Amino acid sequence: MQPEPKKISVLGPPGSGKGTQCSLLQKRFFCAHLSVGDLLRAEVVKPGSPYAELIRENIKEGRIGPKELTVRFMKQAMDGVAKEGVQSFFLDGFPRRLDQAEYFEEKVGPVSLVLVLECPSAVLLERLLSRRRADDDTGTIQKRIDTFNKTTAQVLEKYEAMGKVVRVDGNHDVEKVAADIQYVLRQAGV
């Protein structure tokens, strides 16, 4: 029987390139890319979803929603992946709050490694303002950055203390960042 896929968390401020890099990694490693933001946005447009309004409001405010909901969505998505040949799950933008991280580990299992993409705020703003997602207006972007600095920072501290964090400079062109990520992941045995 093949071992359980490793759970690799990919974190970083909004616009640091989590989604971009995870979709590249998916093609280059034997892994599955699961984006919590994409799962939440899919729920918002699901007809009759009882959670749509709550999620829409949280996304607009850059707030991290209830842990039960995100962990359930993430677990369902992981269960839905055909495991054949999948060595790792790349958890894009997850976990984002300490209680959510602890709840995930209790219900699903430990995170093996946390990859953090670093990028200066001015670059994040420039990238996001030239994209056109619904939460890419200046006010919401600032709230998302604040949430990362205040709330997700505590998740990083937790995993830092366990020696599970690796960092990559996301402020280079996409291919250079991808090459640097591949290097640190190989070094970490992924």
- Residue 66 sits in the site that holds Mg ion (CB under 5 A): no
> By CB under 5 A, what part of segment 27-46 binds Mg ion?
37
Residue 78 is a binding residue for ligand UP5 (CB under 6 A):
no
Cβ distance to ligand UP5 smaller for residue 85 or 183: 183
Segment holding 17, helix H or strand E: none
29 counts as binding ligand UP5 under rule CB under 6 A? no
Distances in whole angstroms, Cα of residue 157 to Cα of each of 112, 160, 170 = 15, 5, 20
CA distance 124 to 73: 27
Host H or E run for residue 149: none
Token reading at 155: 């998740």
CB 85 within 8 A of CB 30: yes
For Cα atoms 115, 141, 111, give the angle at the middle one, nearest 5 degrees. Answer: 20
Q: Can residue 103 be called a binding residue for ligand UP5 (CB under 6 A)?
A: no
Q: How many residues bind ligand UP5 (CB under 6 A)?
A: 28
Q: Which of 43, 65, 104, 166 binds ligand UP5 (CB under 6 A)?
A: 65
Residue 14 as a binder of ligand UP5 (CB under 6 A): the answer is yes
What dihedral angle (degrees, nearest 10) is formed by the CA atoms of 46, 49, 53, 58?
Answer: -80
5 binds, among Mg ion, ligand UP5, none (CB under 5 to 8 A by kind): none
Among 4, 5, 19, 104, indicate the residue that binds Mg ion (CB under 5 A): 19
Determine, following the binding rule CB under 6 A, whether residue 132 of this chain makes contact with ligand UP5: no
Contacts of 183 (CB under 8 A, 6+ apart): none
Interaction between residue 134 and ligand UP5 (CB under 6 A)? no
| Binding residues for ligand UP5 (CB under 6 A) | 12, 14-20, 36-37, 40, 58-59, 62-65, 70, 93-94, 96, 100, 127, 131, 144, 173-174, 177
| Binding residues for Mg ion (CB under 5 A) | 18-19, 37
